[in-house]
Structure 1
Amino acid sequence: MSLGARLAYSFGAFGNDSFYGLLSGYLIMFITSHLFNTGNAAEDAKMISIVTLIIMALRIVELLIDPFIGNAIDRTKTRWGHFRPWVVVGGSISAIILLMLFTNLGGLYQKNAVLYMIVFAVLYITMDIFYSFKDVGFWSMLPSLTTNSREREKTATYARVGSTVGGGLVGILVMPAVIFFSAKATSTGDDRGWFIFAAIICGIAFVSAWCVGLFTREVNSDIRKNKQDTKGIVGIFKALSGNDQLMWVALAYLFYGIAINITNSLEVYYFTYIMGMPKAFSIFSTINIFLGILATSLFPVLSKRMSRKALFTTCLVVMLCGMGIFAFAGSNLPLVLLALPQSLVSHNRWSS
């Protein structure tokens, strides 16, 4: 691979995780803190409850859709390859729709609350599906970039550093940037501040998806050719249900993903409302990004010296220790900064 192609893929990882950080951590913050702020506390609380339930239900629906997304990508055959079309199309559409969700949709909530909920649900599931196409296609294309194992390892390292920096940088910049771009200087900013920050992140995600599409190439080889196509809904579920190893891992990761994503979503609320120090969230994110890069660099070395089972167990124990400290940290900033980064860094290694 050329250095340019490797950097393009790394930039794609940067944009992909920046987008996911905005989606998973801060869209809900915008919705609960700014979108429904009519002055009627009871009505606002009701709408927030409905919207968050809609998001939860749609994320569960996504679990059922994901196998079909993977199958559709696998069956895609174009002159541009299996994956790049989905990275470009999925990245472009999801970025545009997420930016729309960081608005009040032209004041639609005030005009017709029911219609707003319907439009929000349609936009959210559309955005989530296209992002899933982009995310699955992006990480699945790594083996197709080169047939050389050392080249793949280099590219994977570049990409993991890019994703760590991208996801972490959103956390570092979110509160200072939102407050800076806001018309009024408040502890959590205003609608304009959130929209401008979202526009920057969505713009990066959009451009990075096109960089992957334009500056990388998929390599065809006999190893990557499918020997058998999985067709239809029944065929997909038969393939999944017949793989007991996959089903157990999927079940474990389901519960694990629920727990870690709840924790991720809690962070900015914790620093803002429990500790009363929203700008200190940038300190946490800065520590996390450096520890993430360090963990990424050490992972190949440790995996050679330890068995995968031992490494997995060690990361799990460290993560649980971090969660335990966090449970009793209260408003003690040093304890919070000790607890959260080590739990999330171990989470990143588990995912790898």
Structure 2
Amino acid sequence: MNKVKQSVTYAFGAFGHDAFYAALTTYFITFITSQLLEGSDGKQINGWMVGFITTMIVIIRVIEIFFDPLIGAMIDNTKTKWGKFKPWIFGGAIVSSITLIMIFSNFFGLTESNPNLYLVLFAIVFIIADFSYSALDVAFWGLLPSLSLNSSDRTKIGTVARFGSTLGSTGTAIVLVPINIWISRWLTGSTDDTQTRAGWLGFAIFISALSLIGALLTCWGTQEGKSAIRKNVKKTSFKDIFQILGRNDQLMWLASSYFLFALGFAITNSMIVYYFRYVMDKPDEYSMVGVVEAVLGIVAVLMFPTLQNLITRKWVYVSSIGVMVIGYILYNFSGNNVGLTLVSTGLLYVAQPLVFLATLMTISDCVEYGQLRNGTRNESVTLTIRPLLDKLGGAFSNGIVGIAALGAGMTGAATAADITASGILHFKVFMLYIPMVFVIVAAIIFAVKITLTERRHAEIVHELETKFA
């Protein structure tokens, strides 16, 4: 398989994949609190519905923590002529794309005409959306360690993939408002910058198309590698799942660290749009956040291989969180200054791809680490950890953002002029102070407990190759 073709098509898949994730986790809650539950008079129908939906999302994703490893086991047990990952990538992309469009609708007006029926239907569709995306997510990133056993090659493929995913997530922030306004004008005939439910639905259709096209390209352009090491597999039972994960101490410590990081970052990232709208009273400037995230995210991704060679993966992870902490401190003094706010945001966004890549590469190396310890290879079960933690962090962040928005009065038709000083302080506690504590603890855990270095992984691969030669 041509390495360039493989890397590029995998990157296209990551592009659509992260655009979908941003829509589902970051912007869906914004849609819920600002647009979905507005009545014809432009006011929020019921605050309890916001609380009910956000609580439901958290509960569903907490339950999902028990199902993601099962999905990983089913993928590991899959045997087809297309490999074990592609059927799940293809099927998951189709179902999740359709259901994303559905949850960005009001089910033909049921939010007003029959709220109880809406909530029942929403719960059913959201569960299908979330679980189909889980299958796609686990299979997509589980594919990475099967493409190469060499840690350096994985870093190259993972870096290109992260380049694509960065463009996907940041591009979503850039196009969100323009697409929403353009579709709103097209359908309503308005000439102002009003965002409507129809605009949000058009945004969801656009993102779903990107996700599906990216998944199809990944299925077409990638190929699982073949080696004696990869043949060392057995059917994974329910009991085996928890033994596989529990015996991999490096994976467990990494999970503890990355969950705190993912939760802290997801909370802040989801609340930046609120900051521009309700604190700064400059919602139109939010598109600049996407530009900053795109540029700095790309720079960070391109820097990762060099930084890893210079200071090792562990210190890329720890020092990147140090940069984030500086960003949090600056944010506290940003006020209404757009320039300083963008600088603070940039420090968060330049660090996040570096932490993600360091985590992804370490988890990929945990496949061979676990194989050496457990005596069998489990790619998908091991790789379920990273997306599981991202989704769990996103779920908790949705609940926290909902609580913060309601407590600060940042819902419905409220404007920046309606937000009190105490409301802003309440908002900053959730957006800045709590997440900063989370990421600091994450850095400490990684620095102290992670011993699976690049050199140690090379030794493990050599030992496995000798064993199965």
TM-score (norm 2): 0.71
Structure 1, unaligned stretches of length 5 or more? none
Aligned to 1:307, what secondary structure does the other structure show?
Answer: helix
Partner amino acid for 2:304? F
333, 336, 339: which one aligns with 2:341: 336
131, 134, 138: which one aligns with 1:132: 134
Q: Which stretch shows the higher mean deviation, 158-167 or 145-154?
A: 145-154
Partner amino acid for 1:345? V
- 1:20 is the counterpart of 2:10: no
Partner residue of 1:200?
Answer: 206
Structure 2, unaligned stretches of length 5 or more? 358-469
- 1:11 is the counterpart of 2:12: yes
155, 161, 166: which one aligns with 2:168: 166
Partner residue of 1:118?
Answer: 120
Q: Which stretch shows the higher mean deviation, 278-287 or 184-193?
A: 184-193
Q: Determine which structure has more spread, i.e. the larger CA radius of gyration.
A: 2
Aligned to 2:65, what secondary structure does the other structure show?
Answer: helix
- 1:319 is the counterpart of 2:321: no
Q: Which stretch shows the higher mean deviation, 314-323 or 266-275?
A: 266-275
Which structure is higher in RCO with an 8 Å CA cutoff and minimum separation 6?
2
User: Are residues 58 and 188 of structure 1, via their aligned partners in 2, closer, same or farther at CA, if it must alter by over 3 Å?
Assistant: farther
In structure 2, how many angstroms separate the alpha carbons of the residues matched to 1:236 and 1:217? 26
Q: What pairs up with 1:292-311 in 2 under 5 angstroms?
A: 292-311=297-316
In structure 1, how many angstroms separate the alpha carbons of the residues matched to 2:24 and 2:282? 22
Q: Deviations over 1:7-32 (max 9, x none)?
A: 22111111111111111111111111
User: Are residues 69 and 172 of structure 1, via their aligned partners in 2, closer, same or farther at CA, if it must alter by over 3 Å?
Assistant: same
Q: What pairs up with 1:50-129 in 2 under 5 angstroms?
A: 50-129=52-131
In structure 1, how many angstroms separate the alpha carbons of the residues matched to 2:256 and 2:147? 30
In structure 1, how many angstroms separate the alpha carbons of the residues matched to 2:314 and 2:225? 33
Equivalent residues of 1:94, 1:131 under 8 A apart:
yes
209, 214, 223: which one aligns with 1:217: 223
In structure 2, how many angstroms separate the alpha carbons of the residues matched to 1:258 and 1:23? 15
Equivalent residues of 1:179, 1:185 under 8 A apart:
no
Q: What pairs up with 1:145-160 in 2 under 5 angstroms?
A: 145-146=147-148, 152-160=154-162
Partner residue of 1:243?
Answer: 248
User: Are residues 142 and 310 of structure 1, via their aligned partners in 2, closer, same or farther at CA, if it must alter by over 3 Å?
Assistant: closer
Equivalent residues of 1:187, 1:278 under 8 A apart:
no
Identical pairs, percent: 38
Q: Which stretch shows the higher mean deviation, 143-152 or 96-105?
A: 143-152
In structure 2, how many angstroms separate the alpha carbons of the residues matched to 1:40 and 1:268? 20
Equivalent residues of 2:323, 2:347 under 8 A apart:
yes
Aligned to 2:46, what secondary structure does the other structure show?
Answer: helix
Cα distance, 1:44 vs. partner? 2.0
Cα distance, 1:116 vs. partner? 1.4
Cα distance, 1:146 vs. partner? 4.8
Partner residue of 2:46?
Answer: 44
CA RMSD in angstroms, aligned pairs only:
2.0
Q: Deviations over 1:240-270 (max 9, x none)?
A: 2333332222222222222211111112122
Q: Deviations over 1:156-191 (max 9, x none)?
A: 332121111111111111112211221345555001
Cα distance, 1:150 vs. partner? 6.2
In structure 2, how many angstroms separate the alpha carbons of the residues matched to 1:242 and 1:219? 26
Q: How many residues align?
A: 351
Q: Which stretch shows the higher mean deviation, 275-284 or 242-251?
A: 242-251
Equivalent residues of 1:103, 1:195 under 8 A apart:
yes
In structure 1, how many angstroms separate the alpha carbons of the residues matched to 2:219 and 2:122? 29
In structure 1, how many angstroms separate the alpha carbons of the residues matched to 2:193 and 2:61? 30
In structure 2, how many angstroms separate the alpha carbons of the residues matched to 1:155 and 1:245? 22
Partner amino acid for 1:328? F
In structure 2, how many angstroms separate the alpha carbons of the residues matched to 1:152 and 1:299? 12
In structure 1, how many angstroms separate the alpha carbons of the residues matched to 2:84 and 2:198? 39
Equivalent residues of 1:175, 1:188 under 8 A apart:
no
Aligned to 2:76, what secondary structure does the other structure show?
Answer: helix
276, 295, 316: which one aligns with 1:271: 276
Partner amino acid for 2:247? G
Q: Deviations over 1:259-314 (max 9, x none)?
A: 21111111212212222222211112111111111111111111111133332221
User: Are residues 22 and 69 of structure 1, via their aligned partners in 2, closer, same or farther at CA, if it must alter by over 3 Å?
Assistant: same
Q: Which stretch shows the higher mean deviation, 39-48 or 55-64?
A: 39-48
Cα distance, 1:148 vs. partner? 6.7
User: Are residues 285 and 18 of structure 1, via their aligned partners in 2, closer, same or farther at CA, if it must alter by over 3 Å?
Assistant: same
In structure 2, how many angstroms separate the alpha carbons of the residues matched to 1:308 and 1:323? 23
Partner residue of 2:196?
Answer: 190
